[in-house]
Structure 1
Amino acid sequence: MTQYLVYDVGGTNLKYALMDNGGYIITKGKVASPDNLPAFKQALFDIADQFTDEFEAIAMCAPGKIDTKEKTIYYGGALTYLDGFNLVENLGDRYQVQVSVENDGKAAALAEQWLGKLKGVDTGAMMTLGTGVGGGIIANGKLLHGRDFQAGELSWMLLRASEGVEKVSSYTAILCSAVQMIKRVNESLGNDQLDDGLAAFTAINKWQPEAYDIFSEFCANIAQMILNVQTVINGEKIVIGGGISAQPILIEEINYQFEKLLGSNEMLGGQIIPPDIVAARFQNDANLYGALYALLLQIDSE
């Protein structure tokens, strides 16, 4: 059985798994993400050394702009020390195996394309709602990277130009941020635990006005983002990911707001065919599956 070592690099945790080529997770774990490059490298080595001679290639996904051809991470999101980190030099050469690396948002899209809600979809998109908006666009059955590997970075979609393009609050990074929405709901409830998603959705599911109004506005912003993407790709399906996608009320409200948006303009409603808007299949392990699938596609192409 062919096995692969897969890393999912996040701002909080460094997750890892030993997986086979069918997507079965043999074993997995996580450690806290280090705050500096030497410690990060050592964490990678400590994990890989546990599985000496058990893996035939290494896959990784990480935040930032990812040069999938040169296997280099740029910017690195919250982990700014990853800027310029090259997988061949740091892992491939050390363990004498093939390596691949993909952006975390695009990895989530690949997971859904491989084994989830985008399977068999020719054109569609994945939108992961978290601190910002991770994304991946599938066009003609393939993940879209763009000229500089920047395609699908939906956090920088401008929704409120009239409020000032210099303000980050005019972009989807804030307007479609699940973290910001939950924070606002808890503030409205007087809850000191601003990151308490359970409390926020308890109020939302009870239709408490102060909570639901914020939630409704959030879903309307997502509907606008979907509309903007849909005008470009004319996709069959939009998959919503992130922890809050497990809440059925989220998908219901986004669909309602999208229909409301199309109904607000006769010409718009007549020309834009609504895509299926659905919750993602994968949650916490999405990036592991997607990173592995990126590696498998790379191996197949070679």
Structure 2
Amino acid sequence: MTSTPALIDIGDAKPPFYWGVDIGGTGIKIGLVDSDGGTVAYRRIPTRESEGPEAAVGRVAEVAAEIDRQLGIQTRVAAVGVGAPGPMDLQAGTLVQPPQLPSWWGYHLVDAIAQRFGRPVTFLNDANAAAYGEFWLGSGRADRSMVLLTLGTGVGGGLIVDGELVNGVNSFGSECGHLIVDPSPTARLCVWGGGRGQLEAYASASAVVQRTLEQLTRGQDSCLSGSMGGSDTELTAKRVWEAAIEGDQLALEIVDETAKWLGIGVTTIVHITDPGSVVLGGAMNFGGADCDVGRRFLKGVADEFRARTFDNVFEGTSIQFASLGGDAGYLGAAGYARHEHPRHD
């Protein structure tokens, strides 16, 4: 179940306002955010991918119009920020071939949003939007530079250097999940693009499931053995985490191995960009900071990083969990619109 973010009263909000739209394969989050990052209004609607992008954009615009009628804020809205899954062409404002949205391929999303809203539109990869949210309002808010790694079905990334997002010439900047961590010809394949040896193939929820199944097939003893067949017992990264909480040895080994690979990726990113702050987000955090297994996972990442970097770099780099959860995307999209289109009402 998706929780609703805490809202502030319109009378306490600081204009101008910014729409933040976070488009996913199953749901779209729409938030009206004030200049200080407070959420004034929020809705979540189904994407209904099979109906196509025009229908979805129309429903987003209808939600915004409804909120505007209730609050009377249209003239105080400066811009719209949109985050969506890649690959994309940021300069053209189009989605290229996002695997989660096959009916949206080649769609001119920015033009469609701008026409419906009548406001400037900023366009971001969804992981970059989440990164900017954590940078503006979350775990990276005290830093000038930050990298976010989002751990889910795949591994997303967002990189901010001296306050600016790294979007890249080919709209592929900050795609840290496709960093090569294993150059061998037999390295694993990542879940989306089939890239061999990439971080996503080792540190994503999909990789956790695949590696666990391989060990179970080899006969390793585990309470997860019943998850090898049947929809009621389907193996997921969440089930691995639950088994780890119970002390299952295989599950703990998988958590530790995932931390190791992620630590290798973190080391390479830090050695290139030296951001000072590494934030781990996404649904696969093994319980996060409030769970023994989550803390073990975070320590494993830090230990691998420590073993591979310089002492002063380790001491000058924080590694922590994200704090905004599923709200980071729409907040970051709105925040980046604020960054690109400041207005002083």
> When the two structures are superposed, what TM-score results if normalisation uses the length of structure 1?
0.86
Report if aligned partners of 2:52, 2:103 keep a CA contact under 8 Å in 1.
no
Report if aligned partners of 2:130, 2:329 keep a CA contact under 8 Å in 1.
yes
Q: Which amino acid aligns with 1:297?
A: H
**Residues 105, 260 of structure 1: alpha-carbon distance in 2 compared, 3 angstrom cutoff:** closer
Q: Note the alpha carbon deviations across 1:185-240, whole angstroms, 9 max, x for none.
A: 5865023232361x332221233101111111111110111011111112211000
Are 2:175 and 1:175 aligned? no
Q: Cα RMSD over matched residues?
A: 2.7
Partner in structure 1 of residue 266 of structure 2? 226
Are 2:300 and 1:259 aligned? no
**Residues 146, 43 of structure 1: alpha-carbon distance in 2 compared, 3 angstrom cutoff:** closer
Please state how far the C-alpha of 1:139 moved relative to its aligned partner: 1.4
Partner in structure 2 of residue 127 of structure 1? 149
Partner in structure 2 of residue 293 of structure 1? 335
Aligned length: 297
Higher mean C-alpha displacement, 177-186 vs 87-96: 177-186
Report if aligned partners of 2:298, 2:320 keep a CA contact under 8 Å in 1.
no
- After superposition, residues 67-146 of structure 1 pair within 5 angstroms as 67-146=89-168
- After superposition, residues 260-279 of structure 1 pair within 5 angstroms as 260=304, 262-263=306-307, 268-269=309-310, 272-274=313-315, 275-279=317-321
Report if aligned partners of 2:127, 2:150 keep a CA contact under 8 Å in 1.
yes
Partner in structure 2 of residue 43 of structure 1? 56
**Residues 301, 103 of structure 1: alpha-carbon distance in 2 compared, 3 angstrom cutoff:** farther
Please state how far the C-alpha of 1:123 moved relative to its aligned partner: 2.7
Report if aligned partners of 2:138, 2:323 keep a CA contact under 8 Å in 1.
yes
Q: Which amino acid aligns with 1:43?
A: A
Instruction: Indicate the SS of the match to 1:85.
Output: coil
Among all aligned residue pairs of Structure 1 and Structure 2, give the percentage whose two residues are the same amino acid.
23
Whole-Å separation in 1 of the counterparts to 2:343 and 2:117? 22
Higher mean C-alpha displacement, 241-250 vs 147-156: 241-250
Please state how far the C-alpha of 1:76 moved relative to its aligned partner: 2.3
> When the two structures are superposed, what TM-score results if normalisation uses the length of structure 2?
0.77
Q: Note the alpha carbon deviations across 1:42-69, whole angstroms, 9 max, x for none.
A: 1221231233254433221000034444
Whole-Å separation in 1 of the counterparts to 2:304 and 2:113? 50
Whole-Å separation in 2 of the counterparts to 1:134 and 1:149? 14
Please state how far the C-alpha of 1:289 moved relative to its aligned partner: 0.5
Report if aligned partners of 1:61, 1:104 keep a CA contact under 8 Å in 2.
yes
- After superposition, residues 176-215 of structure 1 pair within 5 angstroms as 176-182=203-209, 185=212, 189=224, 190-191=226-227, 192-195=233-236, 197=238, 199-215=239-255
**Residues 89, 123 of structure 1: alpha-carbon distance in 2 compared, 3 angstrom cutoff:** closer
Please state how far the C-alpha of 1:113 moved relative to its aligned partner: 1.0
Give ranges in structure 1 of 5+ residues lacking alignment: none
Are 2:19 and 1:8 aligned? no
Please state how far the C-alpha of 1:257 moved relative to its aligned partner: 4.4
Partner in structure 1 of residue 193 of structure 2? none
Report if aligned partners of 2:153, 2:205 keep a CA contact under 8 Å in 1.
yes
Instruction: Indicate the SS of the match to 1:105.
Output: helix
Partner in structure 1 of residue 5 of structure 2? none
Partner in structure 2 of residue 241 of structure 1? 281
